Amino acid sequence: MSLSMRYDGVEKVFDPQGRNPVRALNGVSFTIEPGELFCLLGPSGCGKTTLLRCTAGLESITGGRIFYGDRDVTTIPPFRRNIGMVFQSFALYPHMNVFENVAYGLRVRKVPEDTIERKVSAIMDLVGLPDVLKRNPSPTALSGGQKQRVAVARALVYDPEILLLDEPLANLDAKLRRRMRAEIRRIQKVTKITTIFVTHDQEEAMAIGDRLAVLRDGNVEQLGTSSEVYSAPENAFVANFIGKMNFFHGRAVESATADEQVRIGIAGGLVLEPQERAIKTKHGLRAGEPVLVGVRPEHLMLRSEGSNGGFAGTVNVIQNLGQFIRYEVHVDPRLAPDALEIDMHQALDGCTEGDHVSVHIDQAQALVFSPETGWDISQDEVG
Amino acid sequence: MDERGLQKESRIERLLQKDWTPYLIFAVPLLFLALFLFWPLGITVLRAFSGPGFDVDLSNLGLDNFERFMTSGLYQRSLRNSFVVSASAVVFATLIGLPMGYCVARVKMPFKNLFLSIGILPVIMPSFIGAFSWVILLGRQGVIRLFLNRLFVPLGIVIPSIYGVAGIIFAMSLTYFPFVFLLSYGAFSAANPMLEEAAMMMGARRPRIMRSITLPLVIPSIGAGAILVFIRSMGNYGIPAILGGDQYVLPTLIYFRVSGFWDLNSAAAIALVSVIITGGALLLQKYVISRREYETVSSSRSEQHLHTHWLARLVAIVYCTLVLVVAMLPNITIIIMSFFEYWRGALPTGFTLENYARIPQLVSSEIFNSLFLATTASLITAALGCMVAYITERRRPKGAILLDMAVMAPFILPGIVVAVAFLAAFAGDAVIPLGGTYLILLISFVVRRTPYVFRSVVASLTQLDVTLEESSMISGANWLYTFRRVTFPLILSGIIAGTILTFATLLQELSTTILLYSARTRTVPVRIFAMVQDGYFGQGAALSVMLLATVFVVVYVMNRMLGRSISSSFKLG
């Protein structure tokens, strides 16, 4: 009953004849499985919201096709598509009460009154607001979380074939956001409607999505499950966008194909031996080729100054985040372009800001990327 | 099927699936504007370059009509008077309005709302009625003039009667200063107080802060108020017609050419000149202002520091009260006058209720005409302004700016110029002969007032989150359904505000009507104007009071119900 969704070379150019045409989508192609909760993730301006609006038909596309199941909907206006959408601002009608807001799509479809009442109360039960429906206030009197639930109910009540969520949690405070993302996943799994969820928050995307697509500059950079994207990012951008990744400058010691094991030399005479699956460059490596070695904060360790097998650094900032302690460590800039972020489960005894320490790499967890051209890794961090 | 065939089929399919209702609906206002704005204006320009008279002779285009500005003393004097009057009105209106705006915004004093309600005066008080009451007070037999002269003549100073250029400037400044007052009040009270606090922290004293921070920030608003005064003064017909005496300005000159000689072509040329002057002033204002427009980070939370020194408060209260009294004087005078037969000298004489009692038998058809025309025109204006606002604000087609400018054009076109354009296009044996009909008045009213509703609705639409409409589309509603159930209910207050304002101002419309009315379609303002000119002051005053009362009630009720300021409808682009 659920529908798949397919993008086939979707392109969107804003202002194509104008002086500054903007390419928002560059031939995006992928398929979303029926009943899947799919996340579109990327920094602002990456094209994720544009892709969602094109999916809804709110924007026309300048190239390619969009399919709902087998149906080509590319030129069909939004009101003929039978979809539901939750907006970032919720877009609840201030001049209608909660019941009328939720019933809107049913009234448009000229559903008989008794069916409307039944469906509205069923959907309000599903989103957990049966009490609100009894009071039936104006939506302006609701709290943020309640508005969110009403917006979801309104989008679901007429059994749409596709549900689109445009940063639906962005207007909620941090605690509520966590609860609502679990709620949305629960509701989606009950209704089994194919759902696209747009967000710029990688934690949210990983938590909620069955699969996710990371977008940058109108291109899909990587597509996969949360753990695939986290543990095996395909390039340095995805690696640093999904969670924090520390980078080291390195050079391949010998030539190798992508599947072979290879030794990587980094500054200070250290030689790393990452696992064979860790090479993320496109065509393997040539001897002497410059690379970036990526290591997650939890795969770096601090020891006291002068320990064997590590390199020297200076502790700059120590933040105690509860489940772990985060150290910001400055190292020789020839070694790493930016300060390192190191998460330790236990504090290093007697270590304070300004101390000299030794940094160690868990080599089995290191990844090897091609250097990104014309892109400064540190700028794309999401705050 | 080959590829081209497939493409063709899909294109037809695409056309059929598209929602065409909006395009059909949007064609209506465009057609209306083409027929009743562009066409008359085009004909007017054409006539301006034809020789004097009524005939349009394409083979004989030339500058004959404009040459009179070189050769005729009357034309030159009128042009000069118009300039002097408008420029002086701007200066004096600013001198009165700006300090008052500052006082009400920045000095701690009582009755602020009372002073602010002055802002409504230009809306509810037709300027020609104001001029009429100044005649009673400062005319040859005017009570105030006689009183002042008794004081000053021994000192060798004689206050002249109000008739003449000085009188016109006097009446216009007092009529239009509320524009400057309201806009500068808004700017003074909205300016971010932290900017001034920052200057104070850096060691600046009050005069320096005023000069270097406060005034520069409100200059755009003062400019907006000033240009409004200039445009209105340039186009005002009623005041110079009553107070001008033998001094003409461009609008009265236009009236003279049309009603005296039926010389539409030279009237068109004069109209063109006056529009060019107004347009030039507008461009100048935009040029000066655009370089001074600042994005200030507004902080609605922190409050203005009000002056609390007793001297500042005393000066402010005395000044504002004085202005209020002078501004209200015409209304009071008219009300008193309406109960008397004559008012020559110190006190009115011959108390009577006859003035009111005779209204039904004297002017019942005028009352019907005014109500009928104002109501019908307001409703049409509402529909038209609403549609155009929606098109330019939501659809943003290519050339939306052009449409915006087209709708706003009548805002800077003096009423009498619109009248000339309509005569030029539709009078006599024109293709669409409308001369002397209700229709020509109706349509000219609609064209002139569409900007009011347009601005008001645009303001509502910009505040309306687009996703509300998108969300409706997603829910499966087409454009018409979305408009009916979502957009319309949410912009309704904007539509009503604009429409009521339109209705109120159309009830008092004189400068367009004066050239377009016929015996059958005469309205109340035209009749008041005639009564004043014929010296029936008592009856004129009684009819004026009824008009003022009606307008006041309408505007007051609207303000109460909608709780919004009407000043937004006056603002230019």
CA B7 – CA B131 distance, rounded (Å): 70
The pairing of beta strand A22-32 with beta strand A5-14: antiparallel
- Based on its alpha-carbon atoms, the radius of gyration of chain A, rounded to whole angstroms, reads 25
Residue B14 has its nearest CB partner, among A75, A79, A154, at A75
Examine the pLDDT at A383 and tell me if it is beyond 60.
no
Say what the ipTM of the complex is. Answer: 0.81
The 3-state DSSP class for residue B226 equals helix
HSE-up (13 A, CA, CB side) for residue B176: 32
Domain B19-41+353-573 top-level CATH class: mainly alpha
Q: Which residue of A has its CA nearest to B10?
A: A75
Residue B475 has its nearest CB partner, among A75, A76, A108, at A108
- State the virtual CA torsion across B76, B82, B84, B87 in degrees, nearest 10: -140
The pair of structure tokens assigned to B97 is: 């309005």
Residue with tokens 């704005």, as numbered in its chain: B37
CA B86 – CA A52 distance, rounded (Å): 55
With bands split at pLDDT 50, 70 and 90, how would you rate the model's confidence at A101? very high
Residues A289-329: tens digit of each pLDDT? 888 889 999 999 988 887 787 888 999 999 998 889 999 99
In sequence order, which residues have a C-beta less than 8 Å from that of residue A317 and are 6 or more positions away? A327, A328, A353
Given an 8 Å threshold on Cβ–Cβ distance, is B476 in contact with A93? Answer: no
Residue A77 has its nearest CB partner, among B19, B481, B486, at B19
With bands split at pLDDT 50, 70 and 90, how would you rate the model's confidence at B567? very low
Chain B contact set for A87 (CB, 8 A): 467, 470-471
Report the 10 Å Cβ neighbour count for A115. 11
Given an 8 Å threshold on Cβ–Cβ distance, is A94 in contact with B18? Answer: no
Every domain of chain A and the residues it spans: 5-231, 244-373
Smallest CA-to-CA distance from A198 within A49, A86, A56 is with A49
Given an 8 Å threshold on Cβ–Cβ distance, is A82 in contact with B472? Answer: no
What single-letter DSSP state applies at residue B398? T
Tell me if the domain spanning A244-373 has CATH number 2.40.50.140: yes
- The answer to whether residue A253 neighbours chain B at the CB level (below 8 Å) is no
Residues B2-51: tens digit of each pLDDT? 555 555 556 676 666 667 777 777 788 888 888 999 999 998 998 888 87
**Which residues 102-121 on chain A approach chain B with CB closer than 8 angstroms?**
104-105, 108-109
Residue B465 has its nearest CB partner, among A77, A89, A154, at A89
Query: According to the model, what pLDDT value does residue B433 have?
Result: 81
Rounded to the nearest 10 degrees, the angle between the axes of helix B264-290 and helix B400-412 is: 120
CA B358 – CA B370 distance, rounded (Å): 18
Tell me if the domain spanning A5-231 has CATH number 3.40.30.10: no
Given an 8 Å threshold on Cβ–Cβ distance, is B475 in contact with A82? Answer: no
Given an 8 Å threshold on Cβ–Cβ distance, is A91 in contact with B485? Answer: no
Examine the pLDDT at A347 and tell me if it is beyond 90.
no
In sequence order, which residues have a C-beta less than 8 Å from that of residue B487 and are 6 or more positions away? B390, B461, B464, B468, B469
The pair of structure tokens assigned to B519 is: 């015996």
- The answer to whether residue B475 neighbours chain A at the CB level (below 8 Å) is yes
Same fold, B19-41+353-573 and B78-251+281-294+301-348: yes
Residues B497-552: tens digit of each pLDDT? 889 889 988 999 999 999 999 989 999 999 999 998 888 888 999 999 999 999 88
Given an 8 Å threshold on Cβ–Cβ distance, is B476 in contact with A56? Answer: no
HSE-up (13 A, CA, CB side) for residue A340: 34
CATH number of B78-251+281-294+301-348: 1.10.3720.10
A199-208, B80-89, B481-490, B556-565 — which is least confidently predicted? B556-565
Every domain of chain B and the residues it spans: 19-41+353-573, 78-251+281-294+301-348
With bands split at pLDDT 50, 70 and 90, how would you rate the model's confidence at A351? confident
Residues B94-116: tens digit of each pLDDT? 999 999 999 998 888 888 888 88
- Which of A75, A100, A154 is the best substitution to test chain B (most B C-beta atoms within 10 A)? A75
Q: Identify whether the C-beta of residue B339 lies closer than 8 Å to the C-beta of residue B351.
A: yes
Q: Which residue of A has its CA nearest to B481?
A: A108
Who has greater pLDDT, A215 or A286? A215
Residues B144-185: tens digit of each pLDDT? 888 888 888 887 777 788 888 999 999 999 999 998 998 888
Query: According to the model, what pLDDT value does residue A374 have?
Result: 45
CB pairs under 8 A between A and B: 71
The pair of structure tokens assigned to B280 is: 């030039």
Q: How far is B34 from chain A (nearest CA, A)?
A: 28
- The amino acid at residue A374 is G
> What mean pLDDT comes out for the span B414-418?
91
Examine the pLDDT at A250 and tell me if it is beyond 70.
yes
Query: According to the model, what pLDDT value does residue A278 have?
Result: 75
In sequence order, which residues have a C-beta less than 8 Å from that of residue B405 and are 6 or more positions away? none
> What mean pLDDT comes out for the span A271-280?
76
Question: Mind giving me the DSSP string for B139-196?
Answer: STT-HHHHHHHHHHGGGT--PPPS-SHHHHHHHHHHHHHHHHHHHHHHHHHHS-HHHH
Residue with tokens 């294109």, as numbered in its chain: B11
Chain B contact set for A109 (CB, 8 A): 476
Query: According to the model, what pLDDT value does residue B524 have?
Result: 94
- Which of B12, B475, B486, B491 is the best substitution to test chain A (most A C-beta atoms within 10 A)? B475
Full-model pTM: 0.81
Q: How far is A241 from chain B (nearest CA, A)?
A: 29
The DSSP bridge partners found for residue A67 are: A6, A72
Who has greater pLDDT, A381 or B513? B513
Residues A143-201: tens digit of each pLDDT? 988 999 999 999 999 999 999 999 988 888 888 888 888 999 999 999 999 999 999 99
The CA distances from residue B378 to A354, B386, B441, B572, in Å, are 76, 12, 12, 20
Q: Identify whether the C-beta of residue B555 lies closer than 8 Å to the C-beta of residue B536.
A: no
Smallest CA-to-CA distance from B33 within B293, B424, B409 is with B409
